[in-house]
């Protein structure tokens, strides 16, 4: 297998999201059903915006798979934006005759200001369409392909929420992963999860949001990933590059 | 601008071709009409197979462009395979119940043999679907985007045929590029072009094809591309890398 | 300028450390004196091992600079290991006739075990020679070159210690950077620094070491580094990649 | 093994040439004696300049090898420039007090003009020191390491001269590689080799040089290098990238 590399494209209110993954081996079983659970999981969680009710993400495999097995060829994925029908003018590929209202209110803590300055935009929509949680759907789909590959080696992923706002869980020594998946904030302790929900509820009336921390646990990983021999092959570094970008 | 990089995906008889280009600047005028001439040009030329009559390639912009200008975001392109309707079972993404006839006759001079050995296939279709002239449509579309960008700097591309089989043109000191475009084999000399056509015709009855050489002329290129300072930044090397790839 | 990239080589008790940096612009003032302060800084700090007394690191410029200015060519650096004279047999490049005692005691929290398993070594010295704090001298020298370049744009670096063992500083609103540099553990608060020293002293009799956290503050950075448009161009990710590598 | 990558540094009349190779496996037998034959071979050939008499290149291994075996660590190589003693002022790293005569006569067919324009030099020495045949010594040494690795897989390299000026050899069906190595221009046919020497002699009085073509034959290569699946993994492309960079 070559290097696993991928590009993603697509705006939040555009036609949809496009992904290409290059470097998969041939003969890996892969179907759209393998991608569905992670896409659905991304759409859950307490306090998500109204958009989640519109979009039921489905990643369609557009190439790279034949009769249920990868071909070794690049795998192309497509996630349609169901909301696109309401944005065909505001987000048209071609110029439009009508005047489009510009977005000029910058979201704090987002890429809006540096993006507008870097690229010289007077409409922040040109930034926010790509600096958007929607783009994570693309990476969740790519991540699901990666997980499908790693599953062949017995490598398994779990994650849970460590903290939301100032509520922090005392991580139990054994985590019930089924319970985590059913918890509205994916907390490993039900009572702490309720406190996290309360913290979200408390922030809402102020028009505010709250941050948090998650932990990803990967088991079944073989010894010897990465290498001590050169700075850019060390595992911490490589992991952060990929994982940070995948959340 | 970052580095110009791109991935392509899609099988010759699959749903279509997917392309993502990352590294374009924001604010570049780009429309599907910019891509059409090169795609049409790829489909011409004397002696093309019957497939050319089926496909009239149209590259649809799926992301990265808004109101006629690039967003700085990755640009996604999609070229539908019109022939797909005839291949939905043979090239299905999901497993099919019927038995699919395998391709076991290897094309000489193609990737069929090494591809089948490398990836362990018993159906050479799994190779030929990607080792296919159709894949060049994807790269022609990407190349058209690159040419659109370079046009902003006055960089212009022309190409013509130097030889087909053993017929070689005496390149005129001044080339009439319009005439080249109208010549069935894009030869800069009409009489030599006719001899090239005759060479193709002579090979056909034997079920054979003939090779050739082309020349690409790029004008308006600024001084100082590439660099002498390190082996992998030298221009010959970089140029060939791109050209060999048909970019 | 191209991409800033570098490779480092050299074992902890070998002849010395070699570094090549590719991608610097031409005309940048650069001398060995620019690299000395950061190399000396690396060798300070309370509780360092005895090796620090042997080595007084000096990075010699072996190429890429002429008459005090970079040539645009790759810059080569060399740091001699003064301790090499004592290791010419144990670390000889060529085979030696005498038997060399193998290292079989694994350091916890280092790459010793995975490195030995990954590369199939029965002498852990083959790992620890490269998984060594000495290798950071190479990256400090490279970092000093990068800082010299960034200084042209008014970008300035400072760093201080946030915590050692369980002693954590209350970061003052204004930091006296000269005082930090003179503090034995580079703590921004003298009394806390003394407590950190005490924590190190307390761990020593058990043959233990203690960890800590540092903060790097970079000022003068222009808006628009990185980009929101693609996952691997986001600044957090890029920053962490570099920082993790101690660059 | 990771990717085989390398950087080279060093000016033609500077202290010497530095090379770092990253991505070698551990346990490969490697000694300076493995590098000597290719370095000596580079220095031969009819019509070389006087410099060849001064330099007897020896590549010293500075890191990455222990007791005759690679460590998996980056391999650092050093080739001293014996001519350096005559250039310590003209090519000094630090500024010098005396005035240094600038080179202002541009070599045609070299990087002198674009290099000077690109980097803003008024002394072409700053270009020619790196755009120099001497730099190929660095790549020959790196190539010798690569050949040592590939030899483990039975992969063998041979090369010979196809043409010099307008003299072209009729390549014999069987080539006597020992005879090629002993021919002054490495021609596979002795009489043609003499004609090539005559062509060089004829150009010399005009102060001119002549070009040529070489052929590299690699045998023992396994099926399945490169891949048909993506444009930048195709073998022609990859091969040329490396080979072009070695001229």
If pLDDT is split at 50, 70 and 90, which confidence band does B54 have?
Answer: low
Distance separating alpha carbons of residues A81 and A134, to the nearest angstrom: 9
Predicted pLDDT of residue B56: 85
Residue B243 has pLDDT above 80, yes or no: no
Percent of all residues in chain A with a pLDDT value above 90, rounded to a whole number: 79
Contacts of B168 (CB under 8 A, 6+ apart): B162, B192
Q: Is D164 left (phi over 0), alpha (psi -120 to 50) or beta?
A: beta
Contacts of C99 (CB under 8 A, 6+ apart): none
Predicted pLDDT of residue A212: 92
Greater pLDDT, C54 or C235: C235
Candidates D5, D62, D95; nearest CB to C15: D62
Distance separating alpha carbons of residues B199 and B212, to the nearest angstrom: 11
Please state at what angle helix C135-151 crosses helix C32-43, rounded to 10 degrees.
Answer: 130
Residue B214 has pLDDT above 60, yes or no: yes
Distance separating alpha carbons of residues C164 and A159, to the nearest angstrom: 29
Distance separating alpha carbons of residues D199 and D165, to the nearest angstrom: 7
Task: List domains and CATH numbers for chain A.
Answer: 1-91+129-152 (3.60.150.10)
**Best residue of D1, D15, D18, D70 to probe chain C, by most C CBs closer than 10 Å:** D18
Please name which of B29, B3, B21 lies closest in space to residue B151, comparing C-alpha atoms: B29
Outline where C77-213 has alpha helix (H).
112-119, 125-128, 135-151, 177-182, 190-203
Whether residue B199 contacts residue B143, with contact meaning beta carbons closer than 8 Å, is answered with no
Whether residue D11 contacts residue C62, with contact meaning beta carbons closer than 8 Å, is answered with no
Residue B55 has pLDDT above 70, yes or no: no
Predicted pLDDT of residue D116: 95
Whether residue B231 contacts residue D242, with contact meaning beta carbons closer than 8 Å, is answered with no
Interval D128-182: pLDDT, tens: 999 998 999 999 999 999 999 999 999 999 999 999 999 999 999 999 999 999 9
Residue D49 has pLDDT above 70, yes or no: no
Whether residue D24 contacts residue D145, with contact meaning beta carbons closer than 8 Å, is answered with yes
Whether residue D70 contacts residue D28, with contact meaning beta carbons closer than 8 Å, is answered with yes
Query: Which element (helix H / strand E) includes C218?
Result: strand C212-219
Q: Is A213 left (phi over 0), alpha (psi -120 to 50) or beta?
A: beta
If pLDDT is split at 50, 70 and 90, which confidence band does D69 have?
Answer: very high
Interval A178-228: pLDDT, tens: 999 999 999 999 999 999 999 999 999 998 889 999 999 999 988 888 899
Residue A1 has pLDDT above 80, yes or no: no
If pLDDT is split at 50, 70 and 90, which confidence band does D243 have?
Answer: very low
Predicted pLDDT of residue B224: 84
**Cut 0.80: pTM above it:** yes
Candidates B31, B76, B92; nearest CB to A67: B92
As given in the structure block, the two tokens for residue C40 are 């000396």
As given in the structure block, the two tokens for residue A133 are 């949680």
As given in the structure block, the two tokens for residue C31 are 């001398």
If pLDDT is split at 50, 70 and 90, which confidence band does A234 have?
Answer: confident
In chain C, the residue whose alpha carbon lies closest to the alpha carbon of B232 is C22
Please name which of D243, D119, D103, D105 lies closest in space to residue B227, comparing C-alpha atoms: D119
Distance separating alpha carbons of residues B17 and B11, to the nearest angstrom: 7
Strands (E), chain A: 5-9, 16-22, 26-29, 59-63, 65-66, 69-71, 75-80, 156-164, 167-168, 212-219
As given in the structure block, the two tokens for residue A176 are 């019930």
In chain C, the residue whose alpha carbon lies closest to the alpha carbon of D80 is C62
Task: Tell me the average pLDDT across C111-137.
Answer: 94
Whether B126 and chain D come into contact, CB under 8 Å, resolves to no
In terms of residues, how long is chain A? 247
Residue C241 has pLDDT above 50, yes or no: no
Residue A246 has pLDDT above 80, yes or no: no
Please state at what angle helix A32-43 crosses helix A134-151, rounded to 10 degrees.
Answer: 130
Distance between start and end Cα atoms, chain A: 25
Predicted pLDDT of residue B239: 59
Q: B-contacting residues of A 66-105, CB under 8 Å? A: 66-68, 71-76, 78, 91-96, 100
If pLDDT is split at 50, 70 and 90, which confidence band does C246 have?
Answer: very low
Residue D242 has pLDDT above 70, yes or no: no
Predicted pLDDT of residue A89: 97
Whether residue A145 contacts residue A76, with contact meaning beta carbons closer than 8 Å, is answered with no
Q: What DSSP assignment string belongs to D150-184? A: HHTTT-EEEEEEEEETTEE----SS--HHHHHHST
If pLDDT is split at 50, 70 and 90, which confidence band does B247 have?
Answer: very low
Burial of D222 (0-12, 13-18, 19+ CB in 10 A): exposed
Predicted pLDDT of residue B244: 33
Greater pLDDT, A189 or D243: A189
Please name which of A158, A84, D110, D220 lies closest in space to residue B63, comparing C-alpha atoms: A84
If pLDDT is split at 50, 70 and 90, which confidence band does D244 have?
Answer: very low
Whether residue D20 contacts residue C7, with contact meaning beta carbons closer than 8 Å, is answered with yes
Cβ-count burial B8-25 (b if 16+ within 10 Å, e if not): bbbbbbbbbbbbbbbbbe
Percent of all residues in chain B with a pLDDT value above 90, rounded to a whole number: 80
Which residue matches tokens 């005035």? Answer: D99
Distance separating alpha carbons of residues A192 and A175, to the nearest angstrom: 14
Residue D236 has pLDDT above 70, yes or no: no
Distance from CA of C190 to the nearest CA of A (A): 30
Interval B86-128: pLDDT, tens: 999 999 999 999 999 999 999 887 899 999 999 999 999 999 9
Whether residue C127 contacts residue C105, with contact meaning beta carbons closer than 8 Å, is answered with no
Predicted pLDDT of residue C223: 85
Contact B67 A130 (CB under 8 A): no
Distance from CA of B228 to the nearest CA of D (A): 6
Residue C117 has pLDDT above 60, yes or no: yes
Mean residue pLDDT across chain C: 91
Distance separating alpha carbons of residues C188 and C179, to the nearest angstrom: 7
């Amino acid at each position: 297998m070559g290097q696993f590399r991928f590009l993603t494209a697509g705006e939040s209110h555009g036609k949809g999201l496009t992904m290409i993954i290059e470097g998969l081996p041939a003969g890996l079983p892969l179907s759209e059903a393998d991608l569905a659970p992670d896409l659905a999981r991304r759409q859950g969680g307490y306090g998500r915006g109204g958009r989640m009710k519109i979009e039921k993400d489905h990643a369609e495999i557009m190439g790279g798979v034949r009769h249920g097995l990868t071909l070794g060829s690049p795998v192309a994925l497509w996630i349609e934006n169901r909301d696109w029908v309401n944005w065909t003018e505001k987000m048209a590929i071609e110029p439009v005759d009508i005047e489009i209202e510009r977005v000029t209110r910058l979201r704090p803590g987002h890429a809006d200001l540096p993006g507008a300055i870097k690229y010289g935009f007077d409409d922040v929509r040109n930034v926010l369409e790509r600096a958007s949680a929607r783009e994570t759907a693309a990476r969740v789909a790519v991540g699901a392909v990666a997980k499908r590959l790693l599953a062949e080696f017995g490598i398994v992923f779990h994650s849970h929420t460590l903290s939301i706002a100032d509520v922090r869980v005392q991580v139990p020594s054994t985590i019930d992963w089924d319970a985590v998946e059913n918890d509205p904030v994916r907390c490993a302790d039900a009572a702490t999860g309720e406190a996290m929900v309360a913290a979200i509820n408390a922030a809402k009336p102020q028009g505010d949001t709250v941050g948090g921390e998650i932990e990803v646990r990967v088991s079944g990983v073989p010894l010897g990933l990465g290498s001590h021999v050169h700075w850019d092959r060390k595992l911490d570094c490589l992991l952060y590059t990929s994982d940070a970008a995948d959340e």
